[in-house]
Structure 1
Amino acid sequence: MKHMITRLFRRLHLLRFDFLTTRAPKIPDRSMIAPEELTVVENGDIKKWACLNCPGGCGELISLSLNPNQRPRWRITEDFWSRPTVHPSIHQKNACGCHFWIKKGEINWCRGGRPSNLGQRRNR
């Protein structure tokens, strides 16, 4: 229900986001994650992974470790509207080469981190 209200507020230009947080008990495959979803894989109260489809358009599934005892690792927080903030930045090392932050659900591209074939589609 909250996601429906959040999307309505977005449509009315009252709220901005590129991603909303969803939850799953295991790592989903790429086809199970919608373009506007960042899926947090949890076991009980333990966050294990954050999964999202690469916003650069290469089609890669990005899986970020949330394990505090592992390196590299990321932290995910979310606001009332389920908009995620990811720390540190996400840098794809494949041909796509995306480098970006997610803050309050919005993609913030690092300098030189936006793929040239992306155009203005996600220019924020």
Structure 2
Amino acid sequence: MKVVTWLRRIWDRYAPARRLMVIDGDTLPTVLPTRDLVLTRDDGDDWSVGMRCPCGCGERIELMVLEEAHTRWDITIDDAGRPTLHPSVWRKSGCRSHFWMRRGRIHWCD
């Protein structure tokens, strides 16, 4: 494992947990926060969750959470405001990262 990858995984384990920001509308902002997730909500319906790839490549990840979406994720928020995503996130192109988001923490799949 590369030293940079190892350091990033240590940071993911001990850094403050990621939080969820909720914005009005059905599209993600052009610029996403470095660590936190953004949930788009329009008329009370959750549409998508956006985040920057936690591997460090900085690519934009958008996950649909709308009930009618064919490929979709479920998001839950605990009392401390930490998001959990289900199922895992697996990028099929680019960096090919594969991870789980549990209580605001990244858990890498090897």
Common topology (TM > 0.5) = yes
Report the Cα distance in structure 2 between the residues aligned to 1:36 and 1:59, rounded to whole angstroms. 10
Equivalences, count: 95
Gaps of 5+ in 1: 1-12, 112-124
Q: What residue is the counterpart of 1:27 in the other structure?
A: 28
Query: What is the identity percentage for the equivalent residue pairs of Structure 1 and Structure 2?
Result: 32
SS at match of 2:88: strand
TM-score by length of 1: 0.71
| CA root-mean-square deviation | 1.7
Q: Runs of 4 or more off by more than 4 Å in structure 1?
A: none
Question: Does the 8 Å CA contact 2:100/2:108 hold for their aligned counterparts?
Answer: yes
Tell me by how many angstroms 1:16 deviates: 4.9
Counterpart of 2:46 in structure 1: which amino acid? K
TM-score by length of 2: 0.79
Counterpart of 1:84 in structure 2: which amino acid? P
Counterpart of 2:83 in structure 1: which amino acid? P
Q: What residue is the counterpart of 1:119 in the other structure?
A: none
Q: What residue is the counterpart of 2:60 in the other structure?
A: 61
Q: What residue is the counterpart of 2:92 in the other structure?
A: 93
1:22-47: CA deviation from partner (whole Å, max 9, x where unpaired): 01123112x2x222210000012100
1:108 and 2:110 matched: no
Tell me by how many angstroms 1:95 deviates: 2.3
SS at match of 1:69: coil
Report the Cα distance in structure 2 between the residues aligned to 1:90 and 1:80, rounded to whole angstroms. 23
Gaps of 5+ in 2: 1-13
Question: Does the 8 Å CA contact 2:35/2:54 hold for their aligned counterparts?
Answer: no
